[in-house]
Structures are given as structure tokens and as C-alpha cells.
Structure 1
Amino acid sequence: MRFNKSFGKGVALVASLAVLGTLGACAKSQRDTGSGTASTSGGDFVFAASSDPVMLDPAMASDGETFRVSRQIFEGLVSTKPGTVDLEPLLAKSWTNTPDGKSYTFTLQEGVKFHDGTDFNAEAVCANFDRWYNWTGLNQNENITYYYGKLFKGFKDSKTKGIYDSCEAKSATQATIKLNTPFAGFVQAMTLPAFSMQSPTALKKYNADDTKGTETDPRFSAYATAHPTGTGPFKFDKWERDQQVTLTRNDDYWGDKAKVSKVIIRTISDPKARTQELEAGNIDGYDLVAPADVQALKDKGFQIENRPAFNILYLGFNQKNKALKNLKVRQAISYAIDKAAVVKQSLPEGSAPAKEFMPSMVEGYEEGVTDYAYNPTKAKKLLKEAGAENLTLRFAYPTGVSRPYMPTPEDTFVAIKSQLEAVGIKITPVAAKWSPDYLDLAQSPEGTTKRDIHLLGWTGDYNDPDNFIGVFFGAKSNEWGFDNPKLFADLKKARELPTREEQTPLYKQINKEIADYAPGVPIAHPAPSLAFGKGVKGYVASPVQDEVWSNITVDR
């Protein structure tokens, strides 16, 4: 997820990931469908986020703070078991697929209703899939409907055929999704909040997809800002911009009811202020603990929980810049960066320098890629050979935000800036507030004219190499600005193979191809931390941040 998430642990995790790759023939629910009798403790759970959500329609989101809220309101067909990356049925209690990997039939839970009282059923499933497929115009912008465009590779009116073909409601409890081409990670992808089930009635009532002319951004419709409607354990109450989002317990929830009556997600952008609010008892927990605060909080008796790093922090190159089209310039920048120093100066304990654009635990990782070990002498030599000794680059970075892959962006910027200047590259800083300015700067067409290199990252949504390198480099994009038909074709071929066993060797070769092409610099895999008050119980940190707060209790 651009802009949030992390991953599981060690050998046991790798084994569980291998299981994910083989799932598909049939899966049955291990979820308690819920008698609705679970005890509730009442009270509030107050959590501090580092920024406001962009908005509250997860289908149009790619940022972690929108997804953090969305996971409480919305549910998908499938989910992950708490604390793991193992698939778990959710609104679908089982599923089957055909051997060719082009048809998936989901058998749905019965008696589930959306928060507006309308039925969740197979017709609602198809309405959601068709909504995504039928987006037109501005709704197809990669900065608006990022995930559908990246994973399904096309819309109804696209010139190239996308992956989605159709959805059929065979009965109220059985929906069949047909694909034009195989996608081995299809069920795993359905765990993403972007593919949550939303009330078709509410979407229509509050004009969720109505751009009202080219000047209106559909992300800020009445639906997306004031009426998000799902099936989850919490319902939307109110959103006070730049202050907090308030959710209330869904007492008609189809499963076990949430134990707290209300959750409040406060926006506190300053890491030090989040720490102070926790110490004062004004919040119960927060994410993205600053590295310097971890031990001090432990010493005061607060709970610290680490998410193993299933992410990547990178320096992206915008090849709309003529100089950056030159491979030698891209290689020079790669050699100029001392990744170990960047980790030491700006990232949490446990973070590791990166060699490629995905973590080593993802299948398809290749140890033997070209490794641009820190070598400023070689960097200067390459710049001279490229005729770029007087190179000036606009270096974009976000302010007022912490991300799991970039907890202190300003510090990371300073560390890399000094290293680039040391090899003779002049840097013009381009700072922007995270939401929505920085994401627009990094991903919109207009942004390509305003920056040359930029800091960004990704936290994996599920164990699939396509979720990393396919998302980054699967097609031409505003962020990277290059056209590499061979790389695009290789990634397309890999993702359309029906099994993980067939995919892995090809992805290993693709990772070599990416390293040789040097579209950017993979910097590090940072290790994020969460902090909680002494009385918080029941919070299970998810490797992929799939955290629903139903089981949390707070003893003050």
C-alpha cells in the first residue's frame, strides 16, 4: 500500500506465505460467523494517526491513513487471520476457482447488512466490481483509483483489455468473477481495503462517482467525505477535518460486536506531540513511533509493538527529466548513496539497507542483482562520462508526516541530499505537505514538471511480487516517466501465469532486469513501531496492517 503497511516473521512467515501461493482450489471459513453475543466493555479507544485520511472511500484511496479508518467501516470478501498473512474468509465464507485461474466463485455469508440497512448479497458484490470496471474519465486517473488501475490493468472503455471480464450473481449467496487472463494473486488482492464491499444504494444516493465536470475531484464527493457505508463492526459518525474521525459501534453487526462503543482516530502530525499525548493519557495508542522515543516509552511502562519490515523506502527518478534518461546518470546517483548511513541517521533500529524494490521474504527475490554499493568516486566518474558534472536536480520530499517506510522524511531527505551534493549534484529542495499535495506531486501529470527525484515508499499488501514491482513498474506511469516495453511485457507475462511456482523464476529474472535499468534507488526496509497505554488489550499488530479494532479493550 502506498503509504502504509508491514509484514510477518522469520521462517514461520515464509512458510505461511508459501501456503498463500497455493490457495485457490477451495477455501472454507474458519471465522466465527457470530452469534452477536460477544461481551462489550463500552468506552472509547483513541488512536493517533500521523495525518488525516485523504477521504473515506477506500476504492479511491492508496494511503494508509484512509485504509486505517476504512478497515473499521468496510469489509472485503476475504481477509487475513489476525497477526498473520494467511488468508481468512470474511464476507465470503468459501471460494473455488477453475484450473485455468480465470473464474472464481465466492459463497457469501448470509444475513449481512450494510450500515444503511440494505442487504449485502451477490448483486452487491457484482455492483462493486462493475463500479470499478465502469469508471470513466477522471475516475481512471492513477492518483484517484490507483489500486484498480494497477491490478486490473484496464477499464471498460480502455484501449487495452484489462483483467476483469464480468461478475454474475448466480444466487443471493453466490457470485462468480470471471477474468480475461489469469491472475495468481487475485484472491490475495481481495484483502485490500480498495476492494472492500460498499453499499450500492449509498454509492448512488450520495453520487460517489459523479465528477460533476472536469474540475471536481470524485474523491471528495458527499459519499467519500460524509457517508461511507460498509458492513464492518464500526459505523461512520463524523469527520472533523485535520482533527479526528469518530466511529461508533455497529450494534447490528453480523459477527461478534466490538467491545468498545466508540473509536476516535485523532490526527497528530508531530511525532513528539503523539508521544506527549500518550504519556498524558489523552490517547491510547499511536503508530510510527519515532526511533528516539522507543526506549524512553518502554522505561515508563508503555507497551511497544514492532511490525517486521515488509516495505520499501526508495528514491524515485522522474525520467521526464532529460538527464535522468541517461543510464549512467541513474547509476551515478545509485552509487552516490550510502544506504547504511541513511538507515543510521534517519530510520528506526532494526531497519535494513535494501538491494531491490521488495523485501527478501517475497517469493521472486533475487540475491544476485546488480548491487550499487556506496562508491562516490565511481559516481563522479559516471557523471563525467554522461556530461552531467553540473547536474541540478529538484528533490521532492514530504513534510508533516510519518510513514512506516519513512518515519522522519525530513531527516532522510537531509541525509541523501548531503550525499548527492558530495559527488557534485546540486539539489533544489521541493517540500510539500503529505495529503493530498505530496501524493499529487509524485503521481499526477502536473507533478512530472515539478520534481526530478523524490522520496516515496510502499508497504506490502499481500505476499506477491506483483504487489511490489508490478505496482511500480508494470506500465508507464506519471511517477517514473519512462517507457520500457520489455520490462512491462515481462511483468505482464509473470503476473498472468496461473501458479506461483511458474512465476517465481521469471520474477527473479525481472528483479535483475530492474536493477540493471536503475529506475530509482531502493534505500531501505524500515522497521515501524506502535506504542500503547498500559491498559490497552487486544490489539494485534498485523504484518500487513490489516487491523480491525473489534477486540480491543481499554482499562483506564
Structure 2
Amino acid sequence: MKLKMIASALAISAALLSAGAVSMAPAAQAATLSGGFDVGPGGFQGNFNPLAATAGFTWLSVYFEPLVSYDEKLQKVVGALADTYEVSPDQLTYTFKLADAKWHDGKPFTSRDAKFTIELAKDAKSGSVLAARLKAVASVEAPDEHTLVIKLSAPSASTLDTMTKVMMLPEHALASIPADQLAKNSWWSTTPIGTGPFKFTKYVTDQYVELAANTDYRGGKPALERVINRYFANPAAAIAALRAGEIQFTYVDSNDVSTFKGDEAFKVIEGDSFVVNYLGFNHDSPIWKDIRVRKAVMYAINRDAIIKSLYGGAAKPANCAYVVDQLVPQGVDTYAYDPEKAKKLLEEAGWAQINGDKPITLLTYYTTPLATNVLAAVQAMLAQVGINVVPRAVDTPTYNSIVLNPTPDVAQFQMVYAGLQNGPDAGSINVGLNEKQIPPAGPNVVRARMPDLNKALDSALAEPDASKRVAHYQDVCKVMNANLPWATLWVANRYGVVSAKLKDFTWTPAPGGGPYQAHPEKWSIAE
């Protein structure tokens, strides 16, 4: 695939989207911040249930809160609804001392709510995407109203990371709803209550959500009166709204950044996405059984050309789930672009008999113009070596319903183009690769069954000494690089653009949108 072809794909996509649909929006009001908080990877969830969310935490954390959260630099876990927390030396007991907080309806937040939430998050029947991550939780105790104790059956290094994603929910409002009816209950989009600095007021279907200041917030009265989340048909429409002053923030793709740099009316925020993008082989499909076929896919894709031309250089090639230097051991195969080698491997494997030119469904939930162009480039490159993939982009709920089905139709997704966290906690990838996490147990959607990989992941999560854990994650990298459960591609930078009028606004390009300490109560707009 020549760079000229890739650039052409970009131009065509940009032209098609130049007239993107514009959402209806509420009239502008004083002290109101509007943003495209859910534009970008993962997109609009379709509901507002934090237990079922795989993205959108930048928005959800404005009105829901977890016990603990990352700081805004994603370097350490700090208290949120828990004032403090302690981990026992054997890393089996986690004790949280809870803050004096109130729900938006005025009732007190207590350890009963925290216990209720974690037990709900553990229950896969609730639709929780966190259930697999909480399997090590043996018990949850509430010895008094302001103390919560979580006990594990075995040490799990990712427990705190998982807890940053468990948004606390009100027992008194949800306990009467059966767990298996909770995921799509109308409560999330009509009358939800949290403990955050803003409280839910209304949702206009597929248009916007409006929140009002929680004047009783324990962190003080918010500076803004309202925060509004606008929904857009595509990123181009969100960018148009930003330039028109209709919104003050949105996520943007790397290829849009150059149009804002140097413009004093806006500020570009850049950071590591901590998400590795990959082509995931469905290991239940017989066409990927031969390692030579999986290696051929790696050699067939000119990752450097795609990164340079489509990402504008704003990505790093990934040869396993990690790109952080300390987690990538010396000597891993870089799978440099070599289409002739790919053809030779396919010939040796008998690709003509295995599949030949039969179309292979490549499923993805990435629907941005950038992703469309990336997949067009990948499709062309694989076609050059004799692998015929057909991209199919769907919304996130549809994607999840297909790949998480315990007995999926293999033809619907012989391959996926997806992303999974490789940080800030390196253990995050366990749920996507460990054999114990194959659906319905967890989100190992590629159905990877690799004993060496399971062993490396289990050893890393069970290692109580953080200094020794790095070596285990290097083992994970080695096994991934050699056995290729995925064809790892890159880790891209992520970008947001904000109006220069915004003050004290914190946005971090975190995986899934966080959560992290964004302090929405401090956000304000200069007159």
C-alpha cells in the first residue's frame, strides 16, 4: 500500500464527512460548559450505566464517583469517595475509610452502598463488564458506616486499578431492581443519582445530557451552573460545533490536531492513550491455527507507513501489549514490513487450502474517519499477500453482543480491530488474553488459549513485590511476541481540544476516559 493511496483515503473520508450532521442542542446559558465528552473511541454507550461502560468515564465521573481514582497524571491511585485506604502486607485485605458524602437526593452515602455496588459489579448477571476483574474478591464487609473491607482469595495486583472503575451506586434506589434487569433499566437515563459535583437533570434522546451543580457537594459548590454533554453523528460535526462556539471541548483524532495548533482560541491537550490497537485473531476459527499465518499478517502490514501517513507520527509501533521501555525485553521480534516473507509463510502454511481468497470478516467498534482509513490501508496491505479481509464497523453495544456471546457465529468475526489498555496498570490486559477470561467468564474475545501466556499473566498478577512484577510482564511480552494471540499494531497518542475560555479544566487522555481526578467542581468559563 503506497503512502499516496493512504492519503487519498483520508481525503475522500474528509470530503464525505464535511457536511456531518449537527445535533440539536439547548440554548447557551451563562456559566454552562458544553462538550463532546463521548466523541472518540468507544463513543456513546447507549445508556449511562457505569457498570456496563467500557468508555465515557470522562463524562460519567462528573456525577458518579469511585472509592479511589488515579491522579490527573495517571501515576498513582488516590482517594475519592474513600478518604484513605490501606492494603495489608499480604495484599489480601483492602480497607477503605469513607468520606462524609451525600447522594444527590440528600441521603447519606455509607459503606452499605459501597458493599452493594461491589457485589453488583461482581455479578455478571447485572451486565457488569467488571465482573471478570473482580473474581479474586472473596468477601466484602461493612463493619461500620464509614469502613469497607474487601478480602481477596489470592493477591491480585490489578485490584486497585479495577476499583478506580467501580462507580458507587445507591442501594436505596437500585436494590429493588433484579440484577438481570438492571443493565438496560430506564433509571440510568431518567433519574440517576450519584455523589459527584453535578447532578442529572435531563436527557434528550441521542442529543444531549444536562447536569446541574450539586450545591451540597462535599468539595464545595461548583463554579459552573451546568455541564452539558452533546452527542454528534461524527467527530467532524463535533469539531464544527467547537469552532462555532457551541461547545467548549471535544476529543479529536490526530489528523485533526494540525488545524488547531497555533490558534490562540483553542488549547490542544496531548497524551498517551495507554491503549494498544491490535488485529485480534478469533482462535476458534481454524484459519488462524498455524502460527505462520498469524506471523504473515504481522509482516504484511506496513505499520510505520500507517503511523506516518494517517497518525501523523503520533503513535508508537507495538510488538506486544506494551511499549513502555521497562516492560519490553530485549530481543523481541519487531516484525518489520516484509510482504515477500508474508507470502512465503502463507505458502508454507498452505493458505490456498486453508482459506485462499475467501472473505474474512474484520469486526470493529472504531467508527471514526481515522479508523476507517486505517482499516482501508490494512485491508489493502493484507490483500497484497493474499489475505482478503472485509471490515465491518458497528456501534459498541452491537460489537459487544457479538464478541461476548458465549457461542458466537465465527463467521461474524474471524478477526477484530480493537484496543485494550496496556496501562497505567500493566495487568489490565489480563482480561483480554487469559484463557480463564473467555466469554462468558470475561472479555477474552479472541478466545486465546495459550498455557504459556496464562502462566505469565497469572504470575504477574500474583506477584506482591512491585519491583519483581516487571520481569513477569516482560515474560508476558515475550510470549505475546512469539505466539501472537493478536497482531499488535501500535499505541497511539490521544488528543482533546478545549476553548481558551475554559479555566481550571482538567482532561487527561486516559484509557476509557479515566476516571481520574478531574475536579469538575473547579471548571469555569471566562466571561
Name the TM-score, length of structure 1 as normaliser.
0.81
Aligned to 2:34: 46
CA distance in 2, matches of 1:262, 1:336: 50
1:419 aligns with 2:409: no
CA distance in 1, matches of 2:434, 2:272: 25
1:517 aligns with 2:517: no
CA contact (8 A) 1:320 1:448 kept: yes
Distance verdict in 2 for CA 1:417–1:60, change over 3 Å: same
What amino acid is aligned across from residue 117 of structure 2 in structure 1?
N
CA distance in 1, matches of 2:448, 2:275: 23
Deviation at 1:145, TM superposition (A): 2.2
Distance verdict in 2 for CA 1:469–1:347, change over 3 Å: farther
What amino acid is aligned across from residue 146 of structure 1 in structure 2?
V
For residues 308-365 of structure 1, what are the alpha-carbon distances to aligned partners after superposition, in whole Å with 9 as ceiling and x for unaligned? 342211111111211112211111111111111121232244222222112315x533
CA distance in 2, matches of 1:167, 1:514: 35
Aligned to 2:4: none
Distance verdict in 2 for CA 1:86–1:476, change over 3 Å: closer
Aligned to 2:152: 179
From 315, 326, 337, give the equivalent of 1:351: 315
CA contact (8 A) 1:359 1:365 kept: yes
What amino acid is aligned across from residue 168 of structure 2 in structure 1?
M
Aligned to 1:36: none
From 497, 500, 503, give the equivalent of 2:466: 500
Aligned to 2:116: 127
Aligned to 1:146: 129
Q: How many residues align?
A: 480
Aligned to 1:61: 53
- Range that drifts further, 376-385 or 271-280: 271-280
CA contact (8 A) 1:397 1:409 kept: no
Aligned to 1:291: 254
What amino acid is aligned across from residue 89 of structure 2 in structure 1?
P
Task: Write out the 4+ residue segments of structure 1 that deviate beyond 4 Å after TM superposition.
Answer: 397-400
Q: Percent identity?
A: 26
CA distance in 1, matches of 2:74, 2:297: 37
CA distance in 1, matches of 2:471, 2:380: 38
Aligned to 2:161: 188
From 39, 46, 70, give the equivalent of 2:60: 70
What amino acid is aligned across from residue 409 of structure 1 in structure 2?
A
From 338, 350, 357, give the equivalent of 1:387: 350
- Range that drifts further, 364-373 or 494-503: 364-373
Distance verdict in 2 for CA 1:180–1:435, change over 3 Å: same
For residues 455-503 of structure 1, what are the alpha-carbon distances to aligned partners after superposition, in whole Å with 9 as ceiling and x for unaligned? 111345x532211245433535252123223422331232022221232
For residues 57-114 of structure 1, what are the alpha-carbon distances to aligned partners after superposition, in whole Å with 9 as ceiling and x for unaligned? 211221x22x23211111111122234422221111112222111011111112x111
- Range that drifts further, 365-374 or 261-270: 365-374
1:198 aligns with 2:187: no
Aligned to 1:215: none
CA contact (8 A) 2:434 2:448 kept: no
CA contact (8 A) 2:365 2:418 kept: no
Aligned to 2:402: 441
From 412, 422, 433, give the equivalent of 1:472: 433
For residues 180-223 of structure 1, what are the alpha-carbon distances to aligned partners after superposition, in whole Å with 9 as ceiling and x for unaligned? 1012232233222xx11111111124x26243xxxxxx421123
CA distance in 2, matches of 1:550, 1:336: 49
What amino acid is aligned across from residue 88 of structure 1 in structure 2?
V
Aligned to 1:30: none
What amino acid is aligned across from residue 465 of structure 1 in structure 2?
A
The alignment partner of 1:73 has SS state of coil
CA distance in 1, matches of 2:366, 2:163: 31
Aligned to 2:205: 241
CA distance in 1, matches of 2:335, 2:460: 26
Distance verdict in 2 for CA 1:476–1:328, change over 3 Å: farther
Aligned to 1:21: none
The alignment partner of 2:138 has SS state of strand
Deviation at 1:409, TM superposition (A): 1.2
CA contact (8 A) 2:98 2:110 kept: yes
CA contact (8 A) 2:275 2:419 kept: yes
What amino acid is aligned across from residue 237 of structure 1 in structure 2?
T
The alignment partner of 2:279 has SS state of strand
CA contact (8 A) 2:367 2:393 kept: no
CA contact (8 A) 1:307 1:541 kept: no
CA contact (8 A) 1:57 1:223 kept: no
From 318, 324, 332, give the equivalent of 1:369: 332
What amino acid is aligned across from residue 106 of structure 1 in structure 2?
F
- Range that drifts further, 472-481 or 377-386: 472-481
Aligned to 2:522: 551
What amino acid is aligned across from residue 203 of structure 1 in structure 2?
L
1:537 aligns with 2:503: yes
For residues 266-292 of structure 1, what are the alpha-carbon distances to aligned partners after superposition, in whole Å with 9 as ceiling and x for unaligned? 1113222222111111111101x2334
CA distance in 2, matches of 1:256, 1:471: 40
Distance verdict in 2 for CA 1:398–1:323, change over 3 Å: closer
CA contact (8 A) 2:362 2:416 kept: yes
Distance verdict in 2 for CA 1:227–1:210, change over 3 Å: farther
CA distance in 2, matches of 1:437, 1:504: 36
What amino acid is aligned across from residue 130 of structure 1 in structure 2?
E
CA contact (8 A) 2:321 2:488 kept: yes
1:487 aligns with 2:469: no
RMSD (Å), alpha carbons:
2.3
Aligned pairs for 1:224-263 within 5 A: 224-263=188-227
CA distance in 2, matches of 1:488, 1:125: 31
1:452 aligns with 2:418: no
Name the TM-score, length of structure 2 as normaliser.
0.85
Distance verdict in 2 for CA 1:123–1:74, change over 3 Å: same
What amino acid is aligned across from residue 47 of structure 1 in structure 2?
G
For residues 7-63 of structure 1, what are the alpha-carbon distances to aligned partners after superposition, in whole Å with 9 as ceiling and x for unaligned? xxxxxxxxxxxxxxxxxxxxxxxxxxxxxxxxxx9621100132323321211221x
Aligned to 1:99: 89
Gaps of 5+ in 2: 1-28, 440-444
Distance verdict in 2 for CA 1:279–1:543, change over 3 Å: closer
Distance verdict in 2 for CA 1:486–1:492, change over 3 Å: same
CA distance in 2, matches of 1:85, 1:543: 13
What amino acid is aligned across from residue 370 of structure 1 in structure 2?
D
The alignment partner of 2:94 has SS state of strand
CA distance in 2, matches of 1:448, 1:318: 8
- Range that drifts further, 301-310 or 164-173: 301-310
CA distance in 2, matches of 1:372, 1:493: 27
What amino acid is aligned across from residue 542 of structure 1 in structure 2?
T
Deviation at 1:411, TM superposition (A): 0.5
CA distance in 1, matches of 2:487, 2:436: 18
- Range that drifts further, 331-340 or 349-358: 349-358
Deviation at 1:517, TM superposition (A): 0.9
Aligned to 1:4: none
What amino acid is aligned across from residue 204 of structure 1 in structure 2?
A
Gaps of 5+ in 1: 1-40, 154-162, 212-217
CA distance in 2, matches of 1:469, 1:130: 21
Distance verdict in 2 for CA 1:292–1:168, change over 3 Å: closer
CA contact (8 A) 1:54 1:61 kept: no
Aligned to 2:442: none
